[in-house]
Structure 1
Amino acid sequence: MGPDYKDYEVAIIGSGFGGIGAAIRLRQAGVHDLVILEKADDVGGTWRDNTYPGAACDVPSTLYSFSFEPRTEWSRKFPPQPEILEYLRHCARKYGVRRHIRFGAEVTEARFDEAAGRWRISTTGGPLTARVLISACGQLNRPAWPDIPGRESFRGTSFHSARWDHAAPLDGRRVAVIGTGASAIQFVPELARRAQRLHVFQRSAPYVIDKPDRPYTALDHALMRHVPGWLALQRAITYTLFEARALGFFKNPAILTPAVRRWRRQLESQVADPELRRALTPDYPMGCKRILLSDDYYPALTRPHVELVTDPVERITPDGVVTRDGTTRQVDAIVYGTGFRANDFLAPMKIVGLDGLELNEAWREGAHAHLGITVSGFPNLFLLYGPYTNLGHNSIIYMLESQIRYVVGCVRAMRRAGLTWIDVRPEVAEEFRRRMRRRMRETVWERGCHSWYQDAEGRVVNNWPGFTFAYRNATRRPDPRHFRARR
């Protein structure tokens, strides 16, 4: 294997919230023989990669931190990207995680050696083995580039919002933005302030409601720092308010009626032009796609030098964008706000389990994992933020902590029983998959729209169709009856 080869008890792929949180909890459980494999040169995951102007979280800061490491120094109610990244760096330093990270080590392949009970892992930084492999890659780490003819022919500046080119000359230029998702509604207002002419190409209109953001005052910080229980109370209140919205996603969409009123009130107060207002009106029920928060997106589109284009993009030429009606808009730069390949949970890694089974083959009828964490036929492989674990209503940090506790429970159980490997039983995994499909059909996510929650066949494979506290209860501890094991 070479001089740099090493064997670990646990290998973690990725150093975002999932990877950092898992490493901290494993160390606290007495597991110190671990490594984090990180393809980049810093921690942070999606909060390291997404540095576009205006990047911020749409979950309040009171919920956007680990429960064991609450932060009191946020500058705003909704935390901006640089502060979230610094928080993750802080956690990695404080809890001794950085010493376990191999930077510049992108995983290309992992094969399970049944006889040895080890994952044989190939990385760009060299090979290694580990008894347990934890994928903490997340769902929003691989940019999705649109399949538009001529995209490579464009001679101007072009980049994806998740790989923002801060050196690109955009001030006073003609700029096209393709896509109107969660990232675009944050950076479009920034571009509208800089560009000479801005064309925003919209495939379908999102629901954009007001964002109740504000800077934290000195009094806010004093209360959080010095009043016992204050921050915990604010966290509990925010969690409860957000959790109540879940009923609108998987029980009765009518529960979202107040949010629909908020959206309509904002649209009507900020957009006077009836034609533009019609173009910004979604043709699907609220919640089918991600609900977006912004106070300045609609006003940006009303500026005289900003154009919202709803005619489909037909092709890209060396100097512009052509829509289906034959109109060519000449531009100097194109920014793709086209989201992520959210259904490719472990791509482009090649994952091979028992009997040579590849994960892509196991998922040929859609990605699935028991509790979103384990896949039958892939022993000692655990997924964080895997299938069925995304949310439309609350903080993903809460879900990650539930998953991490479950994974740590599995590792500790293996240690206590002296097990070489454990593998979720196929009948258990299949029953869970069927239950998810049944429940998903009742949700708003399958009511007339196409979103990144769905795979190519239209199956919703990303989201959890229930309350987050129900998920926490389901993952409270691993059930030995769900696994087959080998000593």
Structure 2
Amino acid sequence: MTQPKPSRRTKKAAAQQDSSAPVHTRVLVIGSGFSGLGMGISLQKAGIDDYIILEKASEVGGTWRDNTYPGAACDVPTHLYSYSFEPRDNWSQLFSKQPEIFDYLKEVADKYNLRPHIRFGQNMTRGYWDESENRWHAFASDGQEYVAQFVVSAIGALHVPSIPHLEGIEDFTGVAFHSAQWNHDVDLTGKRVAVIGTGASAIQFVPEIVDRVGSLALFQRTAPWVLPRSNVDFPAGFQRALRRVPGLRFALRNGIYWSAESGAYAMNRRPGLLKGIEWIGRRHIRSQISDPVVQEKLTPDYRAGCKRLLGSNTYYRAIENPKTELVTDPIERVTADGIVTKDGVERKVDAIIYGTGFHVIDSFTNLSIKGRDGEDLTDRWTKEGVQAHRGITVAGVPNAFFLLGPNTGLGHNSIVFMIESQIHYVIETMKLVDANGVAAIAPRREAQDRFNEKLQSNLAGSVWNTGGCESWYLDEHGNNRTLWAGFTWQYWLQTRRVDVSEYELIGRQPAPAVRPTVPAADYPPQTFPDTLPVNA
């Protein structure tokens, strides 16, 4: 009996089941944190169902999946640190903890049926643009190849732990781990613990472990500005009111947004106004630390906001704990059972915890991406500095989008707001490609240079450039390649539409078999409506 020939769809499905065959998709999204999930949802709303999300781990969540250290929590009120199109009325606290945010992201993935589009255990390692095909070829660490018209990097910046190399660490017989790779199998009870670093993570986990450990040596290189902050528990009655009272949840979110936005003026334009913040910070130190010598060690010598402002009502109390020793002498080496500082003192420790943050700027240059003419993007960014057009697209790199790309980070407001603005811009750019019947799009180099020249000019007088500190916001040349220069509503306005004059349209192709346009009402609503002045 003659077997029927397999259909084209059957052949495609069979090829995609064969791990050695390239997997074809229209849009390839890398990462499944806030950026990746939000991108997938917006693609669906735009009528683009042919997309794949690659995730290196076995679950969604990104930063909020990986950071499980004791006390991990958001330092932005969670009613704002969440999707505007997927509000939640039952957040238990003003600053929600990691498990609650992680659950939120998993619930969003399930609600929008994103999991069938996600390939877990796929870590993208490299990709190149094929000019003859006008397609991206991307490769995972297991060798699997993906071919796509568009690639969206949604990997974020806080995913590669920064672990300093300490001389002699190979001889250390105790346990050592980074806060983002917390070893929950290690019982710290009664242990002599060394914490290296006093950044945002350490501020949260040090108070959680101090009562449990036998002793705690806290190694501080630079004192952070820590402001008083109390978390607020939301009772069931308040949660019901948010659910039932029309406009209350919207008013709360917008109130939080504009309150946070007010800090942008001082940080970007008038750093001198931050002296009031410094007064509050010094008063906070004096109210919780009794030793004048320790007070002086904990008082920063740079402008508030130059490094990320932190908030805690328990951090200084943990330092005041008799178990804690604040060490400001530089580390010289590690021994089999201790840490030796430059003054020759050795402190015996059983465990070392790195609270040393993440690779941020250099995480971009770790990408192996080749654009037009085979140009290596890492080489360009290493020579010229990490730059993109509006922080999203890159000249010479067609159909590639970087969510939370260069200069789109924040020091004062919710990064989720920036993510949604960028996703909207990406969708608009894809629509522009379809509407013009072309295969690809890339920003013109002169438009990208003009954007970045203005951006760096705006940053020149900011607290991050003039505040007198070294931070991960700056690259090796002292240029701020991390933060946005201005108010977030200004960025929101700049990403409402795509100026075709700033872009080069590449190749021709038939219109795709998807909706090329979608009414604006189909897009997830932003924090506030399109009623802002266009000249703001």
Query: What TM-score do you get using the length of structure 1 for normalisation?
Result: 0.98
Distance 2:457 2:330 in 1: 34
Give the deviation of 1:458 after TM superposition: 2.0
Q: Confirm or deny that 1:274 pairs with 2:292.
A: yes
Q: For 1:209-228, what aligned pairs fall within 5 Å after superposition?
A: 209-228=227-246
Q: 2:494 aligned to 474, 477, 480, which one?
A: 474
Distance 2:451 2:363 in 1: 18
Q: Deviations over 1:205-225 (max 9, x none)?
A: 000001131111122101111
Q: Deviations over 1:284-342 (max 9, x none)?
A: 00010000011100000011110000011111122111111111111000000000001
Letter in structure 1 aligned against 2:135: R
- Greater displacement, 151-160 / 398-407: 151-160
Q: 2:271 aligned to 253, 266, 278, which one?
A: 253
Give the deviation of 1:455 after TM superposition: 1.4
Give the deviation of 1:261 after TM superposition: 2.6
Q: For 1:216-365, what aligned pairs fall within 5 Å after superposition?
A: 216-346=234-364, 348-364=366-382, 365=384
SS of the residue 1:279 aligns to? helix
Conserved? CA contact 1:104–1:124, under 8 Å:
no
Partner of 1:419: 438
Q: Which runs of 4+ in 1 moved over 3 A?
A: 345-349
Letter in structure 2 aligned against 1:88: L
Conserved? CA contact 2:227–2:311, under 8 Å:
yes
Q: Deviations over 1:178-202 (max 9, x none)?
A: 0000000000111211110000000
Identical aligned residues as a percent: 47
Q: 1:138 aligned to 135, 152, 156, which one?
A: 156
Partner of 1:185: 203
Give the deviation of 1:347 after TM superposition: 5.2
Q: Confirm or deny that 1:383 pairs with 2:402.
A: yes
Partner of 2:532: none
Distance 1:84 1:330 in 2: 37
Distance 2:336 2:365 in 1: 31
Q: Confirm or deny that 1:69 pairs with 2:86.
A: yes
Q: Deviations over 1:255-305 (max 9, x none)?
A: 223322321221111111101100000010001000001110000001111
Aligned length: 487
In structure 2, the gaps of 5 or more residues are: 1-14, 509-536
Given the superposition, is the C-alpha separation of residues 286 and 309 from structure 1 closer, same or farther in structure 2, using an over 3 Å criterion? same
Conserved? CA contact 2:274–2:303, under 8 Å:
no
Conserved? CA contact 2:302–2:469, under 8 Å:
yes
Conserved? CA contact 1:19–1:36, under 8 Å:
yes
Q: 2:113 aligned to 84, 96, 116, which one?
A: 96
Q: 1:465 aligned to 485, 491, 498, which one?
A: 485
Distance 1:99 1:255 in 2: 50
Letter in structure 2 aligned against 1:482: E
Conserved? CA contact 1:271–1:299, under 8 Å:
yes
Distance 1:326 1:135 in 2: 46
Distance 1:115 1:94 in 2: 39
Distance 1:464 1:153 in 2: 43
Distance 1:382 1:283 in 2: 39
Q: Confirm or deny that 1:454 pairs with 2:474.
A: yes
Conserved? CA contact 1:8–1:35, under 8 Å:
yes
Letter in structure 2 aligned against 1:476: R
Distance 1:151 1:340 in 2: 19
Partner of 1:11: 28
Distance 2:457 2:98 in 1: 37
Q: Confirm or deny that 1:36 pairs with 2:56.
A: no
Letter in structure 2 aligned against 1:357: E
Letter in structure 1 aligned against 2:182: W
Give the deviation of 1:92 after TM superposition: 0.7
Distance 1:483 1:345 in 2: 26
Q: For 1:84-123, what aligned pairs fall within 5 Å after superposition?
A: 84-123=101-140
Query: What TM-score do you get using the length of structure 2 for normalisation?
Result: 0.89
Partner of 1:374: 393
